[in-house]
Structure 1
Amino acid sequence: MAQAADSARLVVGLTGGIGSGKTTVANAFGALGATLIDTDEIARALTAPDGEAMPRIAADFGPGFITQDGAMNRSAMRARVFSDPAAKKRLEDILHPMIRTACQTALQELAGPYALLIVPLLVETGHYLPWCQRVLVVDCDEATQLQRVMQRSGLSRTEALKIIASQATREARLAAADDVIDNSGSPLALPAQVSLLHQRYITAARNL
């Protein structure tokens, strides 16, 4: 694990494509006692009203990307970064260092036996891979993924496919995985898979 995030605890990087069910799986681990460090949740806090990133976002992008209550206008920003790679990089340059710092702090303060570091683009960026002793991929087939994204977000098929295409392929994620949870079927199949891996992680954490 990278020195900046040094910890005596086990760190498991959790990832998966949009609509794969990362949040559901992460919450199941959390219910069993894992510490959850979610980069998306950190980003939401940074871009909420009075969030640490908001002054720079307002200065760099202007009032059209700020809601009336002072948060980042997520829909406007999403449309902008998908159509403008330079704007995407500017936003990443603001948010990513802040997210990494927050993750480092959380790992250094980790009290539980192990942490799930939840990074949707773990495979794509590779930035957090050196921090993780194991990589857990939440997997499902693309048809299921597409259906979930459309139902959850109200996106058109074209919009959902564009997001899916912007992420790593299913094959690339599975190639990077040490562990896989299959979430293609019923949610009833998840608890047994989560429980088994939780026990393995507890044992691995004790052996560090």
Structure 2
Amino acid sequence: MGEQTAKINNWVLGLTGGIGCGKTAVSNMFEELAITVVDADIIAREVVEPNSEGLNAIIAHFGKDILLPDGTLNRAALRTKIFTNHENKKWLNALLHPLIRKKILADLNNATSPYVVLVAPLLFENNLDRYCNHTLLIDVPTSVQIERTAKRDNTTIEQVKSIITAQMSREDKQQKADDILNNDRDLKLVHAELVVLHKNYLHYALNSKTKSH
């Protein structure tokens, strides 16, 4: 359980898992249960949309050739600039991380469901678990991650392996998570277990509200 460093009114469940573990399928199940989902990856894209503070700062720093013809961010060009230059990477992180964090906190606070789910692939790596009351790891064997991701993203097994290596190990995530949901089986079974977990989270959230009044 993360230590909370910002005031959040809602009870927050942190949802994480490595690439290809099926976080989206599970977060969709939470949405079907009428629980608000805040997705860190979507927010990371929103803070660099056209006319955003983030994109305007990137244009001022790198010039207009960082844009695609339609005015959106050329992510491939940006990746090249930050992978070949440590200072550029440091500058970009210093710009984007606070913007992403601010939007995540605002969205967590604005949620009106009984509790709110924060989905982040790097929940533990980026210390986002400090905003969570409880964490849930979506877990599959590494071999399944590799197979699913290579198929889904039409990429090589070597590329997928290097992404997995860059993330926190499966064992470390299992140690850190409060709950673990096995997603290497029929989705109906995953859904049935998720409904049980959901009932627990409703109970925890209600209890925390009762205690705070």
TM-score with structure 1 length normalisation?
0.90
2:164 matched residue in structure 1: 164
C-alpha distance in 2, partners of 1:197/1:19?
22
- In structure 2, the CA distance between the partners of 1:28 and 1:70, relative to structure 1 (3 Å rule), is same
Q: CA deviation at 1:175?
A: 0.7
C-alpha distance in 2, partners of 1:22/1:75?
25
- In structure 2, the CA distance between the partners of 1:183 and 1:81, relative to structure 1 (3 Å rule), is farther
Q: CA deviation at 1:79?
A: 4.9
Q: CA-to-partner distance for each residue in 1:97-139, whole Å, 9 max, x for gaps?
A: 111111111222221100101121111121x222111011111
1:25 matched residue in structure 2: 26
1:4 matched residue in structure 2: 6
2:105 matched residue in structure 1: 104
3-state SS of the aligned residue for 1:124?
A: coil
Is the radius of gyration larger for structure 1 or structure 2?
Answer: 2
Query: What is the correspondence of 1:33-72 to structure 2 with a 5 Å cutoff?
Result: 33-72=34-73
1:121 is aligned to 2:148: no
3-state SS of the aligned residue for 1:5?
A: coil
C-alpha distance in 1, partners of 2:49/2:15?
24
3-state SS of the aligned residue for 2:6?
A: helix
Q: CA deviation at 1:67?
A: 1.5
C-alpha distance in 2, partners of 1:47/1:61?
14
- In structure 2, the CA distance between the partners of 1:84 and 1:148, relative to structure 1 (3 Å rule), is farther
2:211 matched residue in structure 1: none
In structure 1, runs of 5+ residues without a counterpart are none
| Alignment coverage as a number of residue pairs | 206
3-state SS of the aligned residue for 1:116?
A: strand
- In structure 2, the CA distance between the partners of 1:86 and 1:192, relative to structure 1 (3 Å rule), is farther
Query: What is the correspondence of 1:55-204 to structure 2 with a 5 Å cutoff?
Result: 55-82=56-83, 84-126=85-127, 128-204=128-204
C-alpha distance in 1, partners of 2:82/2:190?
34
Q: CA-to-partner distance for each residue in 1:9-66, whole Å, 9 max, x for gaps?
A: 2101111111111111111111101111111111111223333311112223344432
Q: Aligned partner of 1:189: which letter?
A: L
In structure 2, runs of 5+ residues without a counterpart are 209-213
Task: Note the aligned Cα RMSD (angstroms).
Answer: 1.9
TM-score with structure 2 length normalisation?
0.88
Identical-pair percentage: 35
